[in-house]
Amino acid sequence: MRIYESESIRNVSILGHSGAGKSNMAESLEFIAGLTNRITNPNENAKISNSLTLHTVEYQSLKFHFIDIPGYSDFFGELESGLSATDGAIIIVDGTTDLSVGTETALELADSRNIPRFIFVNKIDSEKADYEKIITQLRDKYGKRIAPFHVPWGKAESFKGHINVVDMFAREFNGTECQNATMPDNMDDEIVPIREMLLEAVAETSEDLMSKFFNGEEFTTAEIHKGLREGVLSCDIIPVICGSTFKNIGLNTTLDIVREYLPAPK
């Protein structure tokens, strides 16, 4: 059995309103790690968790412990217990509805415990999904802390990946997983405003970056990454990514975000 140093471990809660896709995400992460050979269709066999569930995943020389926490308000005690046992959190948001009470509760509890977290907007492959609306609602409620990392590439059945506005590259689903792809040349109207939101969040992390932002100077890649990581760890920035847990779109990116931005155990 491999022994992992603490720097190579991540303990993370998976939170959100019931039905947003928490258990489906945990199953998808296990699929990536080769621990299961299928991902349950949530529309055919929706599961309601009523207790904390631990999922351990090994990926790219790291060990991840994910705690799937029930979303119903009746399980508030489990929510507090799960958060107290972890160092970071993923908050799953249903992209087909408005912001839910479960989402707001999860964000507020993570705030109260100073737990770094990011948001995964799920079900982007649905006809009812509206990523832009979710981003607007999040920004209206939580301000410039909300830092969208992604622009969805396609909608509903045509959803095939995302544009990463941090490093400006595309990821396209090949039927099994997402791979780097050529940037589309017809999405500037979607990309530019989301990139601007991200840079606003980065600017808020230091006076020097704020000054550069208002003077119209471009941030270096190193400045963006440093500002984002420091902002996430201090809970001043909440990244937002998107995908589909059922189709396994955005799940490798989820593991990458956990590795790069959420803390190792103290």
Asked if residue 45 has pLDDT above 80, the reply is no
| Residues near 44 by beta carbon (within 8 Å), at least 6 away in sequence | none
**Domain assignment present for 74:** yes
Each residue's pLDDT tens digit, 246-266 = 999 999 999 999 999 999 998
Nearest to 123 by CA among 248, 245, 265: 245
**Domain assignment present for 135:** yes
Asked if residue 102 has pLDDT above 90, the reply is no
Predicted confidence band at 58 (pLDDT cuts at 50, 70, 90)?
very high
Nearest to 129 by CA among 14, 25, 21: 21
Looking at residue 34, its pLDDT comes to 84
The domain of 52 spans 9-261
Buried b (16+ CB within 10 A) or exposed e, 227-237: bbbebbeeebb
Predicted confidence band at 52 (pLDDT cuts at 50, 70, 90)?
confident
Mapping DSSP to helix (H, G, I), strand (E, B) and coil, where does residue 63 land?
A: strand
Q: What is the DSSP string of 151-217?
A: EEES-GGG--EEEETTTTEEEEE-SSSEEEEPPPSS-HHHHHHHHHHHHHHHHTT-HHHHHHHHTTP
Please tell me the pTM assigned to this model.
Answer: 0.93
Beta strands 53-59; 62-68: pairing state: antiparallel
Least confident of 51-65, 134-148, 183-197: 51-65
Looking at residue 74, its pLDDT comes to 45
Total structural domains within the chain: 1
Q: ∠222-201-212 over CA atoms, to 5°?
A: 60
Task: Give the alpha-carbon dihedral of 144, 21, 10, 110, to 10 degrees.
Answer: 40
**Domain assignment present for 222:** yes
**Domain assignment present for 252:** yes
**Domain assignment present for 3:** no
CATH number of domain containing 121: 3.40.50.300
**Domain assignment present for 122:** yes
**Domain assignment present for 43:** yes
Looking at residue 43, its pLDDT comes to 65
Residues in the chain: 266
Beta bridge mates, 159: none
Each residue's pLDDT tens digit, 117-171 = 999 999 999 999 999 999 999 999 999 999 999 999 999 999 999 999 999 999 9
